[in-house]
Amino acid sequence: MSLQQVAAWSHQAGYEALEVAAWPVGSEHVHQAAHLDVVGFTSDDAAGVKELMNDHGLTISAVTYCGNNLHFDAAERKQIHRHLRACIDAAAALGVRHVNTFIGRDITLPVSDNLKQAEQCLPQLARYAADRGVKLLAENCPMEGWHPDGYPANLAYSPELWDWMAGLGFGLTYDPSHLPWLGIDPLDALEHALQAGIVGHVQAKDIEIDQRARTRYGVFGKTAGRISPTDVGWWRYRVPGCGQLDWAKIINVLETAGYEGDIAVEHEDPVWGGTLDKTQHGMQIAARTLRPLVVARQYRQ
C-alpha cells in the first residue's frame, strides 16, 4: 500500500498517528517499506505529507529506519549513516520529533569491541539529530536475525544497554514484546526506563511463548532443523490482544509516569499476516485491544 492508502485506511480503522517507514527506495530488504522517500526530501515534499496527514486526521509519531549502524562493512555502514541523516533531515522538515533506528552490531567482533566502536561513531549521529530538533531513538529489538546463530545483533536489547546508549545521546523506543523471551520483566524494565527519562516512543507488539517447547529447545532455540536465525521454535510475535502481555498494566505504567507520546502498533504476527486482508484484520484487533486503554488521555488533555 502507498502512504496515501495507509493513511486513509488507518483513519477509518481508528488510528490517530503513523510511524512512517523510510527505508531506501529500492532497498534489498523488500519486506521493509519506503513510505517516505527521504533522499532529496524538499519543502514541497514536506508540505504534501503534512497535507495528507491533516486530511486524514493523523500525525506522524516517528520516522523509522532501522539499519545496522555498526555494520562490519565500512562502506555499508557509511551508507546507512548517510541515509539515517536524511531521515533526520526529513523528520525536521516535517516537524517530527523522533527518528527510530537500531544501534546494531558488528557480528565479526566481540560485544566489548562493539561498545568501543559505538562510543566513537554514534554520538555524532545523535548530535546531528539534536542540532535539528530531533531525538534519535533506538528500539530494543535484539535483531537475532542479523546473527548467523540467532544471538542479539542490536546492542539495545537490555536495560543495561539502555543506560549505556543514553550516554551516547540516544533515547529508547520501547517494545515490550522483545523482553519476555530474554527473561526480562517488561514492566520492571519499563519503569526503569521511564524513571531514567529515556522513553521517547512506544511500539505495541505482543508475544506468545510455548513453555513446553522452551523446555525442549532451551532459551537459545532450535539447533538441528532451524531454517532461519529466527526459527527458534518456542515463541512468536502476536498483535496486541492475541498474546500474553498485560496491556492494561503496561499502559497504566506509562500513564502513571506521565508519558504523552504515541503507541504505535507493529505488526509481525504470523497468524494475522501473509495477505492484506489478514494483516488489516490484525491491525483492527490491535486497535480494539488498545483503544479502551488509552482513552484516559482525553481526560488529561
* Cβ–Cβ under 8 Å, residues 153 and 68: yes
pLDDT given for residue 229 in this prediction? 75
Number of structural domains found in the chain: 1
Q: How confident is the model at residue 130 (pLDDT cuts 50, 70, 90)?
A: very high
* pTM for this predicted structure: 0.95
Residue 19 CA from chain centroid, whole number: 9
* Cβ–Cβ under 8 Å, residues 189 and 159: yes
* Cβ–Cβ under 8 Å, residues 271 and 238: yes
Q: How many CB atoms lie under 10 A from the CB of residue 98?
A: 23
Looking at every residue in the chain, the average pLDDT score rounds to: 94
The residues that bridge with 204 in the sheet, in sequence order, are 265
Farthest CA pair distance, the chain? 56
Q: How confident is the model at residue 297 (pLDDT cuts 50, 70, 90)?
A: low
Phi/psi for 53 (5° steps) reads -65, -45
CA 152 to CA 274: how far, in whole Å?
A: 26
Instruction: Assign residue 190 the CATH number of its domain.
Output: 3.20.20.150
Task: Give per-residue pLDDT as tens, 166-180.
Answer: 999 999 999 999 999
For the residues 249-268, what does the mean pLDDT come to?
A: 96
For the residues 86-91, what does the mean pLDDT come to?
A: 98
Phi/psi for 131 (5° steps) reads -65, -20
For the residues 235-261, what does the mean pLDDT come to?
A: 96
Query: Domain of 215?
Result: 3-300
Query: Of 146, 145, 149, 143, which Cα lies nearest the Cα of 161?
Result: 143
Residue 288 CA from chain centroid, whole number: 21
pLDDT given for residue 296 in this prediction? 57
pLDDT given for residue 31 in this prediction? 57
Residue 125 CA from chain centroid, whole number: 18
Rg (CA), the chain: 19
Q: How confident is the model at residue 28 (pLDDT cuts 50, 70, 90)?
A: low
- Predicted confidence (pLDDT) at residue 195 exceeds the cutoff of 90: yes
Map grid coordinates 493523523 to a residue. Answer: 58
pLDDT given for residue 299 in this prediction? 54
Query: Of 236, 237, 293, 235, which Cα lies nearest the Cα of 267?
Result: 237
Sheet holding 199-204, edge to edge: 17-21, 59-64, 98-101, 135-139, 171-174, 199-204, 263-265
Query: Of 26, 93, 102, which Cα lies nearest the Cα of 60?
Result: 93
- Predicted confidence (pLDDT) at residue 146 exceeds the cutoff of 80: yes
Map grid coordinates 533526520 to a residue. Answer: 88
- Predicted confidence (pLDDT) at residue 220 exceeds the cutoff of 60: yes
For the residues 46-51, what does the mean pLDDT come to?
A: 98
Query: Of 190, 201, 300, which Cα lies nearest the Cα of 247?
Result: 190
Enter the C-alpha cell of residue 143: 535483531
pLDDT given for residue 33 in this prediction? 83
pLDDT given for residue 300 in this prediction? 52
